Amino acid sequence: MTRDPLRLADLVARFGGELVGDPEVRVTRLATLRGAGPGDLSFMTHAKYRPELGATRAAAVILPESERDATALPRIVCRDPYVYFARVASLLSPPPRIAPGIATTAVVSPDAEIAPSASIGQGCVIERGARIGDDVALGPGCFLGEDVTIGPGSRLHARVTVYPRCVLGARTIVHSGVVIGADGFGFAPDGGRWLKIPQTGRVVVGDDVEIGANTTIDRGALDDTVIEEGVKLDNQIQIGHNCRIGAHTAVAGCTGIAGSTTIGRHCMIGGAAMISGHLEIGDRVVIGGGTWVTRSIEAAGTYLSVIPATESREWRRTVALLRGLERMSDKLRELERRLAELEQQR
Q: Which CATH number belongs to the domain containing residue 74 in this structure?
A: 3.40.1390.10
The strands making up 244-245's β-sheet, listed across from edge to edge, are 113-114, 131-132, 149-150, 167-168, 203-205, 225-227, 244-245, 262-263, 280-281
pLDDT digits (tens, 9 = 90+) for 50-71: 999 999 999 999 999 999 999 9
Structural domain span for residue 24: 6-92
Total domains in the chain come to 3
Query: What pLDDT is recorded for position 3?
Result: 58
Cα(66)–Cα(86) distance, rounded to whole angstroms?
20
- Of the candidates 46, 157, 175, 241, the residue annotated as catalytic is 241
Residue 120 is assigned to a structural domain of this protein: yes
Out of 43, 68, 92, pick the residue that ends a domain: 92
Verify that 335 and 282 share a domain, yes or no: no
Q: For the full predicted model, state whether its pTM sits above 0.85.
A: yes
User: Within this chain, do residues 105 and 220 fall inside the same structural domain, yes or no?
Assistant: yes
With cut-offs at 50, 70 and 90, classify the pLDDT of residue 322. Answer: confident
User: How do the residues of the chain divide into helix, strand and coil, expressed in percent and rounded to 5?
Assistant: 20, 30, 55
Alpha-carbon span 206 to 212, nearest angstrom? 15
* 278 and 151 part of one domain: yes
Model confidence pLDDT, tens digit, residues 238-282? 999 999 999 999 999 999 999 999 999 999 999 999 999 999 999
Q: Give a yes or no: residue 183 inside a domain.
A: yes
3-state secondary structure at position 330: helix
Region 275-294 average pLDDT: 97
Cβ proximity of 74 and 58 under 8 Å = no
pLDDT score of 9: 97
Residue 308 lies in a domain: no
Mean pLDDT confidence for 223-230: 98
Give the tens place of pLDDT for each residue, 323-338. 888 888 888 998 998 8
Work out the average pLDDT over 6-13.
96
178 and 248: one domain?
Answer: yes
Is there a catalytic annotation at residue 278?
no
Are 85 and 110 in the same domain? Answer: no
Domain ends where: 92, 124, 159? Answer: 92
CATH of the domain at 238: 2.160.10.10
Question: 140 and 31 share a domain?
Answer: no
Q: Are 281 and 150 part of one and the same domain?
A: yes
Residue 82 lies in a domain: yes
Q: Which helix (H) or strand (E) holds 331?
A: helix 325-345
Kindly state whether residues 202 and 289 are assigned to the same domain: yes
